[in-house]
Amino acid sequence: MKGFGIIKGLGVTLKHIYDTYAEDFKTGRKRYYNEAGVRMRMTPDTKGIFTVNYPEERLPVAENFRFVPFLVYEEEEGEKVPRCTACGICSKVCPTQCIWITRAEDPETGKPLKTPAEFYIDIDLCMNCGFCAEYCPFDAIKMDHDYELASYDRMQNNIYDKERLLKPASYYAEIRPLHYAREKQAKAEEAAKKAARRRPRE
Amino acid sequence: MPDELNKPEYNIPPELEGTVAITTLDRIYNWGRRYSVWPMFFGLACCAIEMIATAGARFDLARFGMEIMRPSPRQCDLMIVSGTVTKKMIPQVVRLYNQMPEPKYVLSMGACACGGGPFKRGYNVIAGVDKYIPVDVYVPGCPPTPQALLYGLIKIQEKIDKESVKEVRWYQKEEDPGIPVPILGPDLIDLRDFPELLERVTQKEDQA
Amino acid sequence: MNEEIKVLETYEQAVLERFPDWVRVDEREGYQGLLVESANLLPLMSDLRDELGYDLLTSLTGVDYLPEEKMEVVYHLFRSTGGAILEIKVQIPRSNPVVPSLVGLYPGAAFQEREAWDLLGIKFEGHPHLKRILMWEGFSGHPLRKDWQEVFYGDEKKPYEDRWPKGKTKKIEADNPYQENIAYPEGFNPETWIPEPAEFLFKGSIPLEQEEEFDTEKLVVNLGPQHPSTHGVFRMVATLDGETVVDLEPVMGYLHRNHEKIGEKNTFAMNMPYTDRLDYFCSMSNNFGYALAVEKLLGEKYHPPERAQYIRVIMAELTRVLNHFMAIGFFLNDLGAYFTPALYTIKERELILDIFEAVAGSRMMCNYFRFGGVVRDLPQGMEEHIREMAYERLPRQIDELDRYLVENEIVVSRGQGVGVLTPEQAIGLSAAGPVLRASGVPYDIRRADPYSIYDRFDFDVAVRYHGDVYDRFLIRFDEIRQSIRILQQAIDSIPQGEVLANKPAYKFKMPVGEAYGRVEGPKGELGFYVVSDGTDNPWRYHVRAPSFINLTGLRQMCLGEKVADLVAILGSIDIVLGEVDR
C-alpha cells in the first residue's frame, strides 16, 4: 500500500514522543538537575529526553578529556613552585608550536636554572592534542578540563602567561584522580628503588 | 513576567505584585533580543560539526531561543564562524556578513577562526577572521565542545544585555558602508590596504 | 585459478617480463615499484588495464625531488578483484615537468591530475581541462614545490628554534612586513591587473556539445559555497536546460588549509593530530591509515601488540558506525526531512563520542594512535560499555532507523533510479568505499588487501547492485550491521596485554624510503603516501582522500538528472570538506 512506509516511520517518531513522557513518569524528579540523572542520560539504554540542560546541568567530562594545557605547581612554604624544569620537550613536540619558554638564568653566574622564567601558550594556535602532557617527563604540564574560555578580546586574553597557566597540584588531583594516583605511586616506587640502590653502598 | 525584567526593583504595591512589572526600555529591548538570536546555518570546517551537535538533542540550542538556524544571511542575527577561514573563502564570508541586517553579532568558534589555529602558517589560511570582520566573542578550543560553544553564546547574550538603545550602532545617523569584499588576485587583495599596496609598487618602481 | 594466484604473487615480475624494454625496478633504497619513461606510460597503462586487470587507479601524486632536479609522478594501481599494490613511477626533469595525461584511460585521474598541476606544477599533456582545483585560478606559484615558501615562513622545519630556551612571545604576523599572510609576485601592479573573468569557472571540464542549440535556455546555477546542503563549503556550478542538468562543475578548495605543506614541515609524530582534522567525523580511521603507512616505513619493530590491534579495529569500526549514522541523517536532511532523522542519528553519535572522549580524551579529534600501537589502554569498565553498545544499543537503533526510513515512499521515489553509476563507470572513476560498492563492485580493502587483523573476523562485504542514490543510502545500513558484527567479535576476543610496542617516543629513527598505507575508511579508501629522506620530517606527505576522488564521479551521476536531485546525489556520496580540500 502506498503510504504505509511513511506511516510506519511516523510510528517511530510517535514512540519517541511516548518514551519522553513515559520515562519522565517512571523516574520522576530524580531524572533532572542532579548528577545521577545526567549519568542516567548517558548510558547505552537511555530513553526519553536526552537533553543536558547546560549551564544548570553539566555533562561530566571523562578523566582523559583534554582542553588547553596548564602547568602544575606544588605549594611549598606558601610559594608556588612549578614542577616544570624548562627542559623544552613540550615546546619541541607541540605540533602547532604554540609554546614559548624562556629558561630562567642565575642572575649572578648566568647559568641556566631548572625553572622557567616565562612560559607562554597561545591558545589561538593550540589544537588540544595533548602531546605536551603526554611527553612531559616531569608531569609538569597537564591538559585542563575547563572549557569555559570564551572571551570578548583575543589579543588580551588568548596568550596565556605563566601566572595564568599555573594551577595547584591539588586541582590536578581533583580533575584527574586516577592519573594523579598512578603518577604518585610511580614516583614513590622510583624513590624506593633509588633508596634501595643507595643502601648497599653505605 | 520573568524576574529578570523587574530589576531595578521599584516598590510595587503588594496587591499589584505579579500583575505589574516596571522595567527600563533598554532592559525590555535587550530581553527581547537576547532570546531570539538566530544563528546562520553556516559551517566552514570541523567546528561546524560541533555546532550541529550543539543544535542536536543533547545540547539543544532551542533552549536559548536559537533553534532556527537560517541558511540565508538576510534572516539571521548571529554569524558563527565555525572553522578555518581560507583566502578562497573570505570574500564569501565578508559578503555574507555585509548581507546580514543589523543588529548582527559574530562569534568566532575554534582556534582557527580566532587566530588561524593549527593551520596558521598555511599559505591559504587567514590568521583570524577578525582581520576582516569584527568579532564579538571568541571561543577557543580545537574544536570547542558544544558546552564551550554554549558558554560563548551565553557570553553573546550577556553582551546584548549591556547594550543601550541610545548607543547601539544601528540607530546612529552615519550609514554603515559595509566591509569591502576582498579580491582573489595573485594573492588575496584586501581593498582597505589598496593604497598601501599601490605605494609599495610605486616605491619599487622608483627604486628600479 | 592457480595461474591467477601466481600472477598476484609476482606481479612486478609479470609486468617486467611483459615489458622488459619499458620498465625497470626502482632500485633506490627503501623504494619499491617500477619506473617507466614518460613516452611509454600510455601504452603501458592501457596494457596493464586491459590485459593484466589493473583497472583501479586509486592514487596519483607527484613528488618534488629538488636536490636531484627531478619530479616524480607516482601511480598506485590495484585490481578491482583484490590483491596487492602495483606502483608505477615516471621521472621527469624539474625544469619541464610534462607527462601524458591518463584521463582517457582512467577518468578517475582527472581531479588528481589537476591537483598535481595546482600544487606541484606538473603538466599533464592531453588533460581536457587542466586548471587549478584547490587554489583559485590566477594564484601565483605552485605551493607544494620545495622551493616555494609561504609568507609566514619561520624555520624550515618544526620544531622552530626560537621557542626554547629563549622563547619569543610575538605573534608570527610580526615576521611579515605586511602584517597579513600575503605575498605578491615581483612586478605585480594592482592598477593594471585584470581579474579572471567569472565565466572561467562555469566552463565545464568537457566542453558542451551543440552549444548553440540551447543558447536561449541555458542557465547557470551556483549551489554553494554557502549552501545548507553542500555539507560545508562546497560549490557546484550546474548548467541547466530547463530543469535538467546538462553540465556540472564541482568547485572546491574553499577549505584548502594546506595539510600537505604543513605536514611536510611537521615531524612524523606531529602529523598524527593533524590527520584528525582531515575527515573530522572519522579521526580514528585517519589515525589508522597514517599509523599504518609510517609503521610500514619503520619496519617490524613497530608491529603493534595484539591488544592494540584489537583496540584499533574496535575504534575504526565504531568510527564507521558513527560516520554512517551521520551520513544517513544528513542525507535525509538533504531530501528535506528537516532535522528529525538527523536528531536521532546525532543522538547515537553522541553516545559513541562519549566512548571516544573516555578513551582518547576528545570527542572529535581523538589523536589516539601511535606508531606501534595506541597511546593508552581502555579505561576501566570501557570494555563492558562497548560490549553493551555493540550487543544492545547499536543493533536496536539501526533496526529502528531501518523501520523509520527505509520503506519511506518519499525516500524510495527520490532515490531509486537517480544518479546512477554503473560498475564500469565507478571503477573507471576511481570511486571507493560505499559509492563503489553500491554500484555492484564488492571491493572492500578489509577483504581485498587485508590490513591489521581484519582477516580474523567474520563479516560480509556489503554490496548493492543498482548504483543509484537509494542503494548508496541502503548500503550504509548494511555496513553498519557488518561493523556491529566485527565489533561484537572483537570485543569478545580482545586479549589483555601491552598496547604500545615500544616506549613512548616523539622522535623516530626513520629509514629512507617510501610507504603507502591504506585503510578502508568509512568514506572509501584512505591512503597515505609518505616519503622519508631519513630526517625527522617527511619529505613528501600525500593523502589519498576518498571524498575528493569520489567527487570525480559527481558530474557523471548528475548529468540528465533534475536540479532538485543534485543535493540528494551529493548527499548520497557523503563527502566531508576537510578531506576534499585538505
Radius of gyration of chain C (CA): 24
CB C544 within 8 A of CB C525: yes
Class for domain A69-198, per CATH? alpha beta
- Structure confidence at residue C2 (pLDDT): 42
Q: What are phi and psi of A82, to 5 degrees?
A: -65, 145
Q: Is the pLDDT of residue C324 over 90?
A: yes
Kindly list the residues from chain C whose CB atom is less than 8 angstroms away from the CB atom of residue A178: 379
- Using alpha carbons only, give the angle C326, C327, C330 rounded to the nearest 5 degrees: 80
Higher pLDDT, C530 or C152: C530
Point out the residue among B48, B58, B125 whose CB comes nearest to the CB of C257. B125
Q: What are phi and psi of C386, to 5 degrees?
A: -65, -40
Could you give the CA distance from residue C575 to residue C579 in angstroms, rounded to a whole number? 8
Task: Report the predicted TM-score, pTM, of the whole model to 2 decimal places.
Answer: 0.90
Radius of gyration of chain A (CA): 25
CATH superfamily of C2-125: NADH:ubiquinone oxidoreductase Nqo5 subunit (3.30.460.80)
Could you give the CA distance from residue C167 to residue C9 in angstroms, rounded to a whole number? 55
Could you give the CA distance from residue C235 to residue C227 in angstroms, rounded to a whole number? 8
Question: With the CA atoms of A53, A56, A62 and A67 taken in that order, what torsion angle do they form, in degrees rounded to the nearest 10?
Answer: 100
Q: Is the pLDDT of residue C6 over 50?
A: no
How far B183 CA lies from chain A's nearest CA (Å)?
Answer: 26
Asked if B131 has any chain C CB less than 8 Å from its own CB, the reply is yes
Kindly list the residues from chain B whose CB atom is less than 8 angstroms away from the CB atom of residue A59: 58, 147
Kindly list the residues from chain C whose CB atom is less than 8 angstroms away from the CB atom of residue B201: 188-191
Could you give the CA distance from residue C207 to residue C200 in angstroms, rounded to a whole number? 12
Could you give the CA distance from residue C262 to residue C253 in angstroms, rounded to a whole number? 16
- Structure confidence at residue A2 (pLDDT): 81
Q: What are phi and psi of B24, to 5 degrees?
A: -100, 160
Q: Do B59 and A152 touch (CB under 8 A)?
A: no
Q: What are phi and psi of B195, to 5 degrees?
A: -55, -45
CB C405 within 8 A of CB A9: yes
At how many degrees (to 10) do helices B25-34 and B146-161 cross? Answer: 160
Q: Can you give the residue ranges of every domain in chain A?
A: 1-60, 69-198
- Structure confidence at residue C168 (pLDDT): 64
Average pLDDT estimate for C224-246: 82
CB C353 within 8 A of CB B49: no
- Structure confidence at residue C219 (pLDDT): 78
C532 DSSP β-pair partners: C513, C538
CA B122 to chain centre: 24
Q: Can you give the residue ranges of every domain in chain C?
A: 2-125, 259-547+577-581
pLDDT band at C7 (very low <50, low <70, confident <90, very high): very low
Asked if A100 has any chain C CB less than 8 Å from its own CB, the reply is yes
Mutation to test the B interface, candidates C140, C254, C280, most B Cβ within 10 Å: C254
Q: For residue range C351-374, what is the model confidence (pLDDT) as tens digits?
A: 999 999 999 888 888 889 988 889
CA distances from C474 to C349, C487, C551 (A): 19, 20, 19
Asked if C392 has any chain A CB less than 8 Å from its own CB, the reply is yes
How far A49 CA lies from chain C's nearest CA (Å)?
Answer: 11
Asked if A168 has any chain C CB less than 8 Å from its own CB, the reply is no
Place of cell 506511516: A7
Q: Is the pLDDT of residue C200 over 60?
A: no
Kindly list the residues from chain C whose CB atom is less than 8 angstroms away from the CB atom of residue B144: none
Q: What are phi and psi of B49, to 5 degrees?
A: -70, -40
Q: Give the chain A residue whose CA is nearest to the CA of B58.
A: A51
- Structure confidence at residue A39 (pLDDT): 85
Higher pLDDT, C174 or C220: C220
Q: Is the pLDDT of residue C319 over 90?
A: yes
Asked if C379 has any chain A CB less than 8 Å from its own CB, the reply is yes
Among B83-87, B170-174, C474-478, top mean pLDDT goes to C474-478
Place of cell 633506490: C28
Asked if B126 has any chain C CB less than 8 Å from its own CB, the reply is yes
Mutation to test the C interface, candidates B124, B145, B181, B202, most C Cβ within 10 Å: B124
Asked if A112 has any chain C CB less than 8 Å from its own CB, the reply is yes
pLDDT band at C316 (very low <50, low <70, confident <90, very high): very high
Higher pLDDT, C242 or C432: C432
Place of cell 523516574: A27
Could you give the CA distance from residue C344 to residue C329 in angstroms, rounded to a whole number? 8
Q: What is the ipTM of this complex?
A: 0.90
pLDDT band at C4 (very low <50, low <70, confident <90, very high): very low
Percent of chain C with pLDDT over 70: 91
Could you give the CA distance from residue C260 to residue C519 in angstroms, rounded to a whole number? 19
Q: Give the chain A residue whose CA is nearest to the CA of C366.
A: A129
pLDDT band at C204 (very low <50, low <70, confident <90, very high): very low
Kindly list the residues from chain B whose CB atom is less than 8 angstroms away from the CB atom of residue C232: 43-45, 48
Residue B7 burial by Cβ neighbours in a 10 Å radius (0-12, 13-18, 19+): exposed
Q: Which helix (H) or strand (E) holds C288?
A: helix C283-298
Q: How many CB atoms lie within 10 A of CB B23?
A: 16
At how many degrees (to 10) do helices C469-493 and C565-573 cross? Answer: 20
Which residues, other chains included, contact A139 with Cβ-Cβ below 8 Å and sequence gap of 6+? Answer: A72, A83, A183
How far B50 CA lies from chain A's nearest CA (Å)?
Answer: 14
Percent of chain C with pLDDT over 90: 17
CB C537 within 8 A of CB C271: no
Q: For residue range A154-185, what is the model confidence (pLDDT) as tens digits?
A: 877 788 888 888 888 888 888 888 888 888 88
Q: Is the pLDDT of residue C179 over 60?
A: no
Asked if A95 has any chain C CB less than 8 Å from its own CB, the reply is yes
- Structure confidence at residue C419 (pLDDT): 87
How far A154 CA lies from chain B's nearest CA (Å)?
Answer: 7
Average pLDDT estimate for C23-52: 85
At how many degrees (to 10) do helices C340-360 and C306-335 cross? Answer: 160
- Can you list the alpha helix ranges (DSSP code H) found in chain B? 25-34, 46-55, 90-99, 110-115, 146-161, 194-207
Average pLDDT estimate for C473-489: 92
Cell numbers found for residue C504: 613512548
A:C CB pairs within 8 Å: 144
Strands A79-82 and A69-76: antiparallel
Average pLDDT estimate for C31-57: 86
Could you give the CA distance from residue A86 to residue C363 in angstroms, rounded to a whole number? 31
- Structure confidence at residue C207 (pLDDT): 46
pLDDT band at C480 (very low <50, low <70, confident <90, very high): very high
- Using alpha carbons only, give the angle B46, B50, B53 rounded to the nearest 5 degrees: 140
- Using alpha carbons only, give the angle C95, C100, C102 rounded to the nearest 5 degrees: 135
Which residues, other chains included, contact B159 with Cβ-Cβ below 8 Å and sequence gap of 6+? Answer: A152, B105, B136, B137
Kindly list the residues from chain C whose CB atom is less than 8 angstroms away from the CB atom of residue B43: 232-233
Q: For residue range B186-208, what is the model confidence (pLDDT) as tens digits?
A: 778 777 877 877 777 777 667 66
Q: Is the pLDDT of residue B10 over 70?
A: no
For residue C436, which of C552, C516, C325 has the smallest C-alpha distance?
Answer: C552
Cell numbers found for residue C573: 556520496
Kindly list the residues from chain C whose CB atom is less than 8 angstroms away from the CB atom of residue B83: 255
Could you give the CA distance from residue C391 to residue C346 in angstroms, rounded to a whole number? 20
Which residues, other chains included, contact C568 with Cβ-Cβ below 8 Å and sequence gap of 6+? Answer: C331, C334, C335, C414, C415, C418, C419, C469
Kindly list the residues from chain A whose CB atom is less than 8 angstroms away from the CB atom of residue C269: 93, 131
Could you give the CA distance from residue A147 to residue C282 in angstroms, rounded to a whole number? 23
Could you give the CA distance from residue C244 to residue C558 in angstroms, rounded to a whole number? 9
Point out the residue among B115, B138, B148 whose CB comes nearest to the CB of A147. B148
- Structure confidence at residue A81 (pLDDT): 83
Residue A33 burial by Cβ neighbours in a 10 Å radius (0-12, 13-18, 19+): exposed
Q: For residue range C161-172, what is the model confidence (pLDDT) as tens digits?
A: 777 777 665 655
Q: Do C254 and B42 touch (CB under 8 A)?
A: no
Asked if C339 has any chain A CB less than 8 Å from its own CB, the reply is no
Q: Do A50 and C165 touch (CB under 8 A)?
A: no
CA distances from A118 to A77, A84, A103, A135, B150 (A): 22, 11, 7, 20, 33
Q: Chain A: list its partners (3+ Cβ pairs within 8 Å).
A: B, C
Give the CATH number of domain C259-547+577-581; options: 3.40.225.10, 1.10.1740.10, 3.40.50.300, 1.10.645.10.
1.10.645.10
Could you give the CA distance from residue C538 to residue C529 in angstroms, rounded to a whole number? 10
State chain B's mean pLDDT as an integer: 83
Q: Is the pLDDT of residue C229 over 50?
A: yes
Average pLDDT estimate for C419-440: 90
Q: Give the chain A residue whose CA is nearest to the CA of B113.
A: A124
For residue A162, which of A97, A127, A124, A117 has the smallest C-alpha distance?
Answer: A117
Q: How would you write C380-392 as a 3-class SS string?
A: CCHHHHHHHHHHH
- Structure confidence at residue B124 (pLDDT): 86
- Structure confidence at residue C484 (pLDDT): 93
Average pLDDT estimate for A21-43: 84
Cell numbers found for residue C158: 618544526
C87 DSSP β-pair partners: C76
> What is the DSSP track for C231-252?
SSS-EEEEEEETTEEEEEEEE-
- Using alpha carbons only, give the angle C569, C574, C575 rounded to the nearest 5 degrees: 110
Q: Is the pLDDT of residue A25 over 50?
A: yes
Q: What are phi and psi of C337, to 5 degrees?
A: -80, 80
pLDDT band at C317 (very low <50, low <70, confident <90, very high): very high
